[in-house]
Structure 1
Amino acid sequence: MKNLVKASLVAAMLAAPLMADESFGGIGITIYQVKDGVHVAEVIPGTPAAETKLQAGDVITAVDGVALAGHDIDFSKDQLRGQVNKPLEITYISEGETYTATLRRAQITVKDLNNKDVSAWYGDKAELNAQELETFASAKVNDKQLVAVLNRGSLVKEDARVATADFNGIYVEKAEQFGPKVQTNNVVRNNDIALRGFTRKAVSYSVKTPGKTVVTIMNADGEQVARLVNDGALAGINTVAWDASNIPSGRYMVSIDHNGSVSGKFAILK
């Protein structure tokens, strides 16, 4: 595991008390509530959030189109947490610009690393380094991937030496247990790629440059229902045909990949 970082957890994971053996569907950030939404305190490595360009200091203003301004931290936490592997769209402000990112929640598990077990593993050592903590935590839970170790509520950075007390491990389900992920590594501004129309016969979108576009449509459970390829998209508005006559009405995620940059938006199929 690389880049173990240290950050002050604001009332712990997603601003809720970090409990031993807590498990939930989340994206892997620590936050606190501000006027316009939630401030990202840290992005935890190895989690869905770390696959986007979201970074500490950004402010998430909406989740799936639901504004977070004017609400408390519990409301924001409930919007960010949810069904594992289900896509969600976040809108956030970074360095004065507004962006969107589409990602899937992962199963995030927090395990109490019992002090007696740590002592039995390493003897009477007064302090442990990050590598020793990682080795112990990885062996403790072998069906999940360790992404971070906490000591007294803070993430442990790689060169730290910490007293052997109050440890927690943060784990995610191993990658092979998930279905296909929504691509999120190239987050773009809203006006670079935009969904313009979504009907049972066609999907329309606009892009700023010509190139190849792949439109992926997923249902509320994160299952792909269509993949539409346009090898010759032009700058401006483009339309690709599809047949949705046998697809149920409801809310769908439309992910648009244009020349390797991705934007996603929820849309209603009537």
Structure 2
Amino acid sequence: MKNKQPKFVKKATLIWSILIALLVGGGIAYTVAYFQTRTIVSQAQATSASMQKIEAVYNNIQTNYYKSVSASKVTNGAIKGMISALDDPFSEYMDKSEATSLNNQISSSFSGIGAEVQKSGQYIKIISPIKGTPAKKAGLLPGDVITAVNGKSIAGKTITQAVNLMRGKIGTKVTLTIKRGGKSFKQTLTRAKIPVSTVNTKLVDKKIGYIQITSVSERTASELKAALKKLDKKGATAYVLDVRDNPGGLMDQALKMASMFLKNGKTIMRVQTKNGQQQIYKAGKKYDGGYKVTKPVAVLMNGGSASAAEIFAAALHQSADAPLIGTQSYGKGTVQTVSDFTDKSEMKITIAKWLTPNGDWINKKGLTPTYKADYPKYAYLQLINTKKTYQLGDVSSEVKTLQKELTALGYFSGKTNGYFGKTTQTAVQNYQKKAGLTITGKADAKTVVNLETKVQAKVAQNDRALAKAESLLSK
């Protein structure tokens, strides 16, 4: 078995050093060494007994099971069973095809729906939909639980198996069954190429550089550096770094990114193994190549900001005094390593905690914003099924969503109760007239798509977190 570099949800370029403390000093050293030796021997004996039991079960199956069974199938089942016993959503065994799929994801060379997921009980939970992807456009949210793909339950499947079901050729459709709170609904998405570029920029308020980082993959640090230089030439005097809905990625990239904004010697993060020992990562030329940003910055985050995105945000906040603006982040505070087997299968296993510069473990808690600010509630409305036309007399949750969207745009002031009555019909007619659509009073696919496009545009115009950042950086 060949050990590869660790993965932080995805792969991270990091070589772990196991530091062994040597105890010296008379009888104390002898006594400690004696008990340590006994412990090691005891552990070895326990391991040997366990392996003998596993071997006995394997031999029994091969010898006595009533029909032939593939040796690799039994072996893979045993390995997956051991990993499953850890009850850790980030530890996983992947066969050759599954490992290839994950490696493609790391290099951003894949097509699918565009959502970072983790195991949640028997099903799969969305950590974050990636901006500009089918998952984001369909209104999927962090915390949504995927229970079925194309009508087939994914209960008991690994993350990779479930993800492979969701992936497919660009342009093909996949239907997910989503559980959100106490409700369950189906959402059909059209698979697309997931964006390779992870950094987007623009100049806001004429002098503030806005940089959106959608994920943290192999080229993100270099993309960020290029974006900063580009905005510098345009006269940016401060930066807003947006990691909202950023599901994270490579730890080595997070180190490089954070180091650009920190003075040399400042702590970026800490990694703590199970024996309590910590490895401290500090800003310096080895990470940023000597490139430093000295202008004021603010970081935007939300519940979809996870893993490497949280490392980046925490480092800038605690070691460079950058304000965090938005909502509580996801809270993914563990580090994984990946081991290769000769048959090209891989085992991903959690090996350590990562801590913020101040030593905080944010796992399942997340980072708390300095200033709480969020999109308006209508930003989180589920997309309406465009396969149906909604008209007078209809009653459904989608009509209720339609009413909320019309309310957001100022066309509806009645009760959003899901009943398509005369008031709703009039609101639809008024919207259609204003939008230059055929006035029917029915919400057909063309009307719904047009309406939702307008709602999303209003969401962008009412970005309270960005407005707060601009206010702080303009002072």
Scaled to the shorter chain, the TM-score interval is 0.3 to 0.5
Higher strand share: 1
Higher helix share: 2
Which is bigger in relative contact order (C-alpha 8 A, separation at least 6)? 1
Which entry has the higher C-alpha Rg, 1 or 2?
A: 2
Q: Give the TM-score of the pair, scaled to structure 1.
A: 0.44
